[in-house]
Each structure stands twice: as C-alpha cells, then as structure tokens.
C-alpha cells in the first residue's frame, strides 16, 4: 500500500515540479514562438525578420484547411480570415454548389447527424480495433493469416498489446489509488469542518499541526506533507483532489477498455456505412458545437488576424482558414479523416493541418488514397508527430507518410514540438520523435492562441507545433505561389535552425540526447531562414 500511495504522491509532485521548472529558468512570454533568438532571446521562428524580407512583395491568398475538432467561427480574431464558400447561400437548406454538402459555408463537419447534432466525445481506436476483430485474430499467429488481412492483424496485435499492458498497470494501481483518494477526501473534510472553508492551502494547515484535536492534527499533517513535497505554497487541496480523481478515472477507463466493447457512438449518430468510403455524404455544417478549444487554438496559431491590436497574431498574413471537423474527443475515424482531406482538396486548400493521431489505423488505405489524391492536386499535408514521448520509427503514429505498399508520400511534413529555455528546454518532454519519420521540430510549448468565445490561452502539444509549421508553409506558398509541396518541405527542412546541443530526451527525463537525432533535419523551423532560402532559389532560377 505504501508503495502505491508513494506513487500517487510522486505523480502529484512530478506534475507540480514540472510546472515550477517552467517558471524558474526564464520568464514565460506569450507569443514567444514568433520571436527571434538573437534579437529577442527566445528560440522562436523569427517571423518579423521574415516579413521584413518580404516587404514590397505581393502575396496571393492561400486556403489552409484545419482538420480538427471544429472551430468557433464567431471568434473575434478569426472571423476576418475564415474561408467562405461563395457558391453556397448560408442557411437556405439547399446544396447550392452541388457538392453533396448542404450549406457548407465555412467548411464541413463529418462528426455529426443531418439534423445538426454533433458527436462531442468519441471512443478510442485501440478499443474499437481490439473488440471488433478479437474473434477473428485472438490466439492466431501471423503465418496463419491471409495476406490481405495481415495489416489489419498487425493493427489488432498492437491494440491487444496496448490494451493488456494498460489493463495490467491499472489493475495493480487501482485499489491503492482509490484508498489514497478516500484519505484525501476524509482529511479534507475534517479541515473544511474545522476551518469552515471550501478549500485550503499550506498556510491554512500549518497552524493546525499541533491542534488539540488529534484528527485535525493528523489531517493537517497529511496535507502539510503533500503541499510541502509539491513545492507550491499557493496550491489548493482541490487541485490535488482533482488530479487524483482524474488519474483514478483514467485507471478505471483502462480496465474497462479491455472488459467492455465500446459503444458505436459515431455510427449511432452519423448512420453511414463506415466500411464504404464512397458513402460520403453525411454530417452537417455545425462546426462549433462540441468542438472545444482545440481547432480554434490551431487556427489562430496559423492565421489569426495580424497587427489588429486584438488578442494575438497568427503567422501567415494572407490566409483563409477552412474548418473541417473530423476529430471529436477520443479518436478520429479513418474514413472521416480521408473524406476531410478530399473535401479540403476539392474546395481549394493548398495546405492542410492535421493536429491529431492515434496508434492504430484499421482503415489506413482510405487515408493513403486521400493523401495520394492531395499530392496529385499539389496540396501539402502538415501533421503533428504526437505527444507520447516515443520514437515513432517503431511506435508508429497514424496518419503517417508511409503507404501500405511501402512507398512514401512526398507531400507529408511531420512535425515535433520544440520549446525554449523559458519552457524548460529545446525539446518538448512529451514530443514524439524519429530520425526517420519526423522531419523537423517547431515551437509547441506555451503557444498563446485564440480560444472559443473570444478567449485566448496558452497550450502545449505537437498539435500546436504542427500549425506553426503549417503557418510558415502557408506564408511561403502565399509569397511564392509556384512552390510545390515537395519544394516547401525541402525549404522548411533545409533552412531550419540547427541545434547542436544535448537535450533531455522526450519521454525519459533521465537521459540526454543530441537534438539533431530527434528528426531527419535535426532542426527547428525558422520563417526568416525559409523566406531567405526561397528568395535565393527564386533568384537562382531566374
């Protein structure tokens, strides 16, 4: 029991200590990712210097599709840069442009019903794969699997491995964590009752350590130890309670994920034939309901209105954001992603941002075909490498640029998350990496951007690194419209900032590695250097 309780305390300490470490090195700064290391002292993308190089040069409007959770189309800093389908009359209930999607004025939502109801929370792909094909594959060896089922078998085996490991780990911890949480609640209630408060901090419990009432003193000792180990004098007990409650819920989910097949939440609502990629006219135009902040944060990072004195500045200054909703909470479905890519391509997008992913992809062929379709139309796909702190050379993260036939997409840019001294270091501790399958890193920690209901907030993740890269790609495409996806990728990778330093290895804070070994380029994206290279290549060509 003590070992498990210590683990619970360790989890709290780690989280709090990590938060503290972010503030102890250098002052955090909103918008640091746009700054220049030499001029401003932050390892950003040198955006202002890039625009100075572009002065006097005309730009063309570039449509950037954001395949994500949706978007708040009324956000004050986004309204002016949203793509609008001029062929569609808003709200008339007619498919004016005849593309099969009625009233798709700002984009389309593949995660909803025709009546406007949206899927806010989805299940996880590993559970769907594990239970869907358990009867077919359980106990079988690969040599006994037909050739045309071997990829699906490999996906099922990976899902089984993850499900079983999560189940075993969660089962070992469940009882201890539950008892620890009960102890937290009971000791909190004692202090609540004694002090007549709803929450408390270290300064509140210190005077109670020698209280005449033994139960009050013991409760105070419990929380004094917890607060002291956490190292945050201002922390409240309610924060700790919520963290352990959330962790307890995660354990329950991992246990139930193996024992119970997930409900088909999407199929119940959408009512399409999921196995038929040609059954594509479903969903609705409701891009906000159930979207959360994610897609809005991503969109603002790419192209929030610049220099308008409101909120924050995006990267590209002549972009229209097309919202395509295919990623509810939980995991996206391959078919929705594939159709979202095709929708974006068919409606003029030249850059597509994909800040999502999962460990298995049972209908990968749908997505592969869509990626090939995008390549045939000269469309660049930008994808976040994922937040598991893993080498995705072996721990594959989907979607990925390698097709089922072994060929590799030439229009697919994979992006890891970098930071700055102010965020704890150059490599984000959560970022996936790969010398083979991650192209470059981009700022992805404490990225301040637009949120729903005219709010603004900072967020971490390769979900933010990807739109930083997509924003730079859109900037290049806008000012150098003839650049192909292959050329954009080459310029971005070649011109990045080389980091010739050792960094803490993502996913393993006890190991250091060369930053250059975390991606194929070994670099952090830099808009100024990218523009400078694009200008030089143009001059050389002419």
Give the CATH number for residue 525. Answer: 3.40.50.200
CA nearest neighbour of 258 among 149, 148, 335, 174:
174
**What is the reported pLDDT for 14?**
43
What is the reported pLDDT for 25? 52
Omega into 222 within 30° of 0, i.e. cis? Answer: no
Q: Which spans in 2-92 are helix H?
A: 2-25, 37-40, 47-53
Q: Output the pLDDT for position 516.
A: 96
Q: Are 156 and 137 in contact (CB under 8 A)?
A: yes
pTM for the full predicted model: 0.89
Is 383 contained in some domain?
yes
Q: Is residue 537 part of a domain?
A: yes
Q: Do residues 141 and 157 touch, judged by C-beta distance below 8 A?
A: no
Q: At how many degrees (to 10) do helices 150-195 and 2-25 cross?
A: 90
The packing angle between helices 527-541 and 485-495, to 10°, is: 120
Q: How many domains does the chain have?
A: 1
The 10 Å Cβ neighbour count of residue 122 is 20
Residue range 86-132, pLDDT digits in tens: 999 999 999 999 999 999 999 999 999 999 999 999 999 999 999 99
Longest dimension (CA), the chain: 87
Q: What is the pLDDT of residue 8?
A: 55
Pull the structure tokens for residue 245: 């409650």
Question: How many other CB atoms are there within 10 angstroms of residue 318's CB atom?
Answer: 17
Residue 289's pLDDT is 87
Beta carbons within 8 Å of 427's beta carbon, 6+ residues apart: 416, 417, 418, 419, 433, 441, 503, 504, 505, 506, 515, 518
Helix %, strand %, coil % of the chain (to 5): 45, 15, 40
Give dist(CA 333, CA 324) in Å, integer. 14
Token pair of 189 as six digits: 């209630």
Q: Look up residue 228 and give its DSSP letter.
A: H
Residue 486 counted as domain residue: yes
Measuring CA to CA, which residue among 473, 462, 452, 454 is closest to residue 526?
473
Secondary structure (H, E, C), 345-399: HHCCCCEEEECCCECCCCCHHHHHHHHHHHHHCCCEEEEECCCCCCECCCCCCEC
pLDDT of residue 248: 95
Nearest to 109 by CA among 149, 153, 73: 73
d(CA 84, CA 106) in angstroms, rounded, equals: 5
Of all residues in the chain, the percent with pLDDT exceeding 70 is: 95
Backbone angles phi, psi at 448, to 5 degrees: -85, 125
Q: How far apart are CA 425 and CA 420, in angstroms?
A: 5
Query: 418 lies in a domain?
Result: yes
| Encoded tokens for 86 | 């001029």
Sign of CA dihedral 263, 265, 266, 267: positive
Indicate the average pLDDT of the chain: 94
Q: Which residues neighbour 96 within 8 Å (Cβ) at sequence distance 6 or greater?
A: 87, 88, 89
User: Which of 69, 121, 125, 111 is closest to 361 using CA atoms?
Assistant: 125
Distance, CA of 280 to CA of 336 (rounded, Å): 9
Residue 144 lies in a domain: no
pLDDT-flagged residues of the chain (< 70)? 1-25
Distance CA 400, CA 510 (A): 29
Beta strands at 447-451 and 455-459: parallel, antiparallel or unpaired = antiparallel
**Which H/E stretch holds residue 299?**
helix 294-303
Determine the Cα–Cα distance for residues 326 and 353; give it in Å rounded to an integer. 12
Residues spanned by the domain of 354: 31-123+274-541
- CB-based contacts of 441: which residues, under 8 Å, 6+ apart? 415, 416, 417, 418, 426, 427, 431, 465, 515, 518, 519, 523, 524, 525
The H-or-E segment that residue 457 falls in is: strand 455-459
């Amino acid at each position: 029991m003590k070992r498990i309780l210590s683990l619970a305390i360790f989890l709290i300490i780690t989280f709090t200590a990590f938060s503290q470490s972010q503030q102890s090195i250098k002052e955090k700064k909103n918008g640091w990712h746009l700054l220049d290391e030499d001029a401003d002292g932050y390892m950003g993308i040198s955006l202002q210097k890039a625009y100075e190089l572009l002065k006097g040069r005309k730009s063309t409007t570039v449509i950037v599709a954001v395949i994500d959770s949706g978007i708040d189309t009324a956000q004050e800093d986004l309204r002016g840069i949203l793509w609008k389908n001029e062929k569609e009359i808003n709200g008339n209930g007619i498919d004016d442009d005849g593309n099969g999607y009625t009233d798709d004025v700002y984009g389309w939502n593949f995660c909803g019903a025709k009546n406007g109801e949206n899927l806010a929370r989805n299940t996880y792909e590993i559970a769907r794969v594990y239970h869907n094909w358990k009867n077919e594959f359980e106990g079988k060896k690969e040599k006994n699997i037909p050739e045309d089922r071997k990829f699906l078998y490999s996906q099922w085996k990976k899902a089984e491995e993850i499900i079983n490991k999560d189940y075993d780990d969660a089962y070992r911890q469940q009882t201890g964590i539950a008892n620890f949480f009960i102890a937290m609640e009971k000791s909190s209630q004692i202090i609540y009752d004694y002090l007549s408060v709803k929450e408390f901090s270290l300064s509140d419990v210190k005077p109670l350590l020698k209280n005449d009432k033994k139960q009050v003193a013991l409760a105070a000792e419990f929380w004094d130890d917890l607060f002291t180990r956490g190292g945050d004098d201002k922390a409240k007990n309610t924060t700790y309670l919520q963290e352990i409650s959330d962790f307890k819920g995660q354990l329950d989910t991992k246990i139930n994920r193996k024992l119970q097949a997930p409900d088909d939440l999407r199929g119940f609502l959408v009512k399409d034939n999921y196995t038929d990629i040609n059954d594509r006219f479903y969903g609705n135009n409701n891009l906000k309901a159930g979207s959360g902040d994610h897609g809005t944060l991503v969109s603002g990072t790419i192209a929030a209105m610049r220099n308008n004195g409101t909120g924050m500045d995006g990267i590209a200054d002549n972009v229209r954001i097309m919202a395509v909703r295919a990623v509810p909470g939980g995991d996206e479905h391959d078919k929705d992603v594939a159709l979202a890519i095709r929708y974006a391509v068919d409606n003029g997008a030249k850059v597509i941002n994909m800040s999502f992913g999962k460990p298995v992809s049972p209908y990968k062929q749908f997505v592969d075909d869509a990626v090939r379709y995008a390549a045939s139309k000269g469309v660049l796909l930008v994808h976040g490498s994922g937040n598991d702190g893993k080498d995705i050379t072996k721990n594959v993260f989907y979607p990925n640029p390698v097709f089922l036939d072994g060929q590799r997409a030439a229009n697919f840019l994979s992006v890891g998350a970098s930071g700055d001294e102010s965020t704890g270091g150059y490599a984000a501790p959560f970022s996936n990496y790969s010398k083979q399958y991650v192209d470059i890193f981009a700022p992805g920690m404490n990225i301040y951007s637009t949120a729903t209901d005219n709010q603004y907030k900072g967020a971490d993740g390769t979900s933010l690194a990807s739109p930083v890269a997509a924003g730079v790609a859109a900037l290049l495409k806008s000012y150098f419209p003839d650049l192909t996806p292959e050329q954009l990728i080459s310029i971005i990778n070649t011109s990045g900032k080389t980091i010739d330093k050792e960094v803490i290895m993502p996913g393993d804070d006890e190991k250091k590695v060369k930053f250059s070994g975390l991606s194929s380029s070994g670099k952090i994206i830099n808009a100024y250097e990218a523009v400078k290279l694009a200008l030089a290549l143009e001059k050389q060509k002419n």
